[in-house]
Amino acid sequence: MNFKSISAIINFTFRESVKNKTYYITVLFGIVLLVMSMLLSVLGGEESVRVILDFGLAAIELFAVLIIVFSGVNIILEEMSSKTIYLTLARPIPRWYYLIGKYLGLLFSTYVMMFIMAVIHILLLLYSGWIFDPEYLLAIAGSAMKIAIIGSLAMYFSLFSTSAVSSLVFTFLLWFLGHFSPEFKFLISKITGVIPKLILSVFYYIIPNLAYYNWRDYIGIHHPGLFTSLPYTFIYGILYSAVFLVFSIIVLNKKEF
């Protein structure tokens, strides 16, 4: 394995992403929204700090999802349509180097955005009288895990289907279904028919359970359930992302340019 080649692609993708105007505008808009949460917090009465905390964490995740999904879907499709992908694939490097490099570069640029927003958010919170809670970092880590999963899915769908719109729809659908998993499980338990129950159960295990990563829900409540599954969910997130990256490599290897 040639790490130098992969890191060159990561570096290139990262630079391309952060140079993009859409990236700048999204980051800027995210920061504006964080500052706006200070205004919203005034309406929160004696729970104003909580309003800033929740609003900020939600904004960080939402903007990260928008960046990873839109970029993840378009990053390879654009290179294919503009034929710039030939420049990379014509070199003596395996195709999976290209795909892993693109994925990690994109993920890294999204994490940089999350980091910038988190720093600003923490400063705003401290200014509002918040006492730093290490669970905040866990909340950000949970969002980062979701971003890794949804990024691999976006990349897979962009290779699987040729239309960017359908890839976006599929990715967002899985994002919603992923969060709906606990409710979905309950609905499955209420179904009496064996075959529908079996089909839905298989479907339940295929979709990523993003509720595992809502670690921000645990801030300040000292819920004993958090740490019982935490290491497993962490490994599961990495494995799930890896599965869809492997699937993407299979699809990319089969493509003829």
Partner 1 sequence: MLKIFSIIIVAVTLLFRFEIESKFVYPYTLMVSTKAPGQKNLLLDSNSVLFGMRRLVSDIAWIQLLQYYGTREDEEEDSEQVSSGHVHAGKDGEHCEHCEHESGSALGQGRYYDFIAYSQRIARLDPYFFYPCLYSGASLAWNLDRPEQALILLKEGIDNSILVNQPEYWQLSLYSSAILFKMTSRTGDMVNILEKAVIQPKCPVMVKWVLANIYKKTGKYYKALSLFDVIYRSNDETYREFALKQIQSIRQLLNM
Q: Provide the minimum distance between the beta carbon of 241 and partner 1 in the complex, in angstroms, as a whole number.
A: 10
Q: Provide the minimum distance between the beta carbon of 230 and partner 1 in the complex, in angstroms, as a whole number.
A: 9
Q: Per the structure block, which two tokens stand in for 188?
A: 């499955």
Distance CA 173, CA 170 (A): 5
Q: Which of 176, 198, 199, 203 binds partner 1 (CB under 8 A)?
A: 176
Q: Per the structure block, which two tokens stand in for 92?
A: 């003596």
Q: Provide the minimum distance between the beta carbon of 227 and partner 1 in the complex, in angstroms, as a whole number.
A: 10
Q: Provide the minimum distance between the beta carbon of 3 and partner 1 in the complex, in angstroms, as a whole number.
A: 19
Q: Which of 233, 255, 256, 257 binds partner 1 (CB under 8 A)?
A: 233
Kindly compute the dihedral angle of the four CA atoms of residues 184, 186, 188, 193, in this order, to the nearest 10 degrees.
Answer: -150
If the CB atoms of residues 36 and 242 are measured against partner 1, the closer one turns out to be 242
Distance CA 233, CA 148 (A): 13
Q: Provide the minimum distance between the beta carbon of 11 and partner 1 in the complex, in angstroms, as a whole number.
A: 26
Contact present, 77 and 156 (Cβ < 8 Å): no
Distance CA 193, CA 16 (A): 51
| Alpha helix ranges (H) inside 82-212 | 85-89, 95-127, 135-160, 164-190, 194-206
134 binding partner 1? (CB under 8 A): no
Q: Give me the residues that bind partner 1 (CB under 8 A), please.
A: 40, 43-47, 50-51, 54-55, 57-58, 62, 176, 178-180, 182-183, 186-187, 205, 209-212, 214, 216-218, 220-226, 228-229, 232-233, 235-236, 239-240, 242-243, 246-247, 249-250, 253
